[in-house]
Amino acid sequence: MAIAQSAAAVSSAARASRPRPTRAAPRRIAASASSVAPPEPAARRLVAAFDPAVPLASAVTPPSGWYTDPDFLRLELDRVFLRGWQAVGHIWQVKNPNDYFTGRLGNVEFVICRDANGELHAFHNVCRHHASLLACGSGQKTCFQCPYHGWTYGLDGVLLKAAQISGIKNFNKNDFGLIPIKVATWGPFVLAKFDSGFSQETADNTVGDEWLGSASDLLSRNGIDTSLPHICRREYIIECNWKVFCDNYLDGGYHVPYAHGTLASGLQLQSYETHTYERVSVQRCESVQAEQNDFDRLGTKAIYAFVYPNFMINRYGPWMDTNLVVPLDATRCKVIFDYFLDKSLMDDQNFIESSLKDSEQVQMEDIALCEGVQRGLESPAYSVGRYAPSVEMAMHHFHCLLHANLSGDW
């Protein structure tokens, strides 16, 4: 009875504080790494509606406003995404001198590049003249030339040329280089830190502890390293809040036998186990042994690591794939899948195509689930739910980490 009363109280508070979502005209995300307006009262109330101190067996899930409210997403961008290390790509994107790739997180446009000397850099992808974006996509460049007025920057961020500025006063080109962002690598992953003052000191020696905590060694020992070449990338725009996709990943395999029949047939679901660390949760599952001549994508065991707030690393058999979930607005996200494969199978096109086809089937099944959940979250019939204590501990861990970030510094 006490639990029912608690859930009802949270439900009432959440309904009172949440605006109804609209899907006709998604609002542009407006968050900055340097200055963000104080959180709206409704967003504060939504944060407070979840109590991380309640034990898992008695806890209710965060209210649906966490998944529908644009002001809540702006708070997340400031307190979660633009603070601390964030996965932004992989080392194969900047393998060679002059390689670069671009990205966007909230309203932060960034470019990652490797200069002619092999040094890795990250910058805000914005010209210092009149704010045009400098680069797009990925590829190779020896410099970044603004497409608007031709201001040109080296891959070390130095302003090399400012066209037609004769007569300008009080101008020192050394003050108008690209604005740097802290960048580092861990294993095969490129990470950026948007919230700190830039330092020339390398962060590679400490980033593992800061990003992964005590799970760093565990992941390294389980084949999450630089030995697997990159095979391909696939991107999906999903009509759901970014956390819906994360929650789906973190339910301890709960949904697998119901939603992924083919995948479930290859796993020993009774072997599923979950462990949580500071900012990481790890799910493990053994696979069904394949016949000698059968196609074997899964190997003998799988490890699924979730790195807070939005990065997933899946290591199974000869494969590793990663999922990066990027919020687009309160009810849409982009999920970027990168696939890596053992070198010995690089030339086995039949194996690669069959593996990717099986993976695509799982993604389509998950997308249908996530979009259905999002529609349910926007329904007036739903406010809060419950956790399955024996399997959904990683999901609860994720929600508690979010609450800790979102409730601080008010």
Long-range CB pairs of 158-162 (<8 Å, 24+ gap) are 159/128, 162/129
- Return the SS3 of 262: helix
261 pLDDT tier (thresholds 50, 70, 90):
low
What is the DSSP code (8-state) at residue 253?
T
Q: How far does Cα 388 stand from its chain's mean position?
A: 25
**Cis preceding linkage at 309, omega within 30:** yes
Distance (Å, whole) CA 121 – CA 123:
7
- Return the SS3 of 34: coil
CATH architecture of the domain covering 55-84+213-409: Alpha-Beta Complex (3.90)
| pLDDT tens for each residue of 183-232 | 999 999 999 999 866 554 556 678 999 999 999 999 999 999 999 999 99
350 pLDDT above the threshold of 90: yes
CB 320 within 8 A of CB 223: yes
Residue type, 352: I
Sheet holding 182-186, edge to edge: 85-90, 189-193, 182-186
Q: Tell me the CATH class for 85-194.
A: mainly beta
| pLDDT tens for each residue of 135-164 | 999 999 999 999 999 999 999 999 999 989
Q: How many CA atoms lie within 13 A of 194 on its CB side?
A: 27
Region of 223 (left: φ > 0; alpha: ψ -120 to 50; beta: rest) is left
Q: Structural domain boundaries of the chain?
A: 55-84+213-409, 85-194
pLDDT at site 3: 41
CB 91 within 8 A of CB 226: yes
H or E stretch covering 42: helix 41-48
Distance (Å, whole) CA 97 – CA 395:
40
**pTM for this model (two decimals):** 0.87
Q: Which residues pair with 313 in a beta bridge?
A: 305, 322
Task: Give the residue-averaged pLDDT of 107-127.
Answer: 97
Q: How far does Cα 221 stand from its chain's mean position?
A: 23
| pLDDT tens for each residue of 57-101 | 999 999 999 999 999 999 999 999 999 999 999 999 999 999 999
Distance (Å, whole) CA 314 – CA 302:
7
What is the DSSP code (8-state) at residue 91?
G
237 pLDDT above the threshold of 90: yes
Residue type, 331: T
pLDDT at site 313: 98
Residue type, 167: G
**What value does the CA radius of gyration of the chain take, rounded to a whole number of Å?**
23
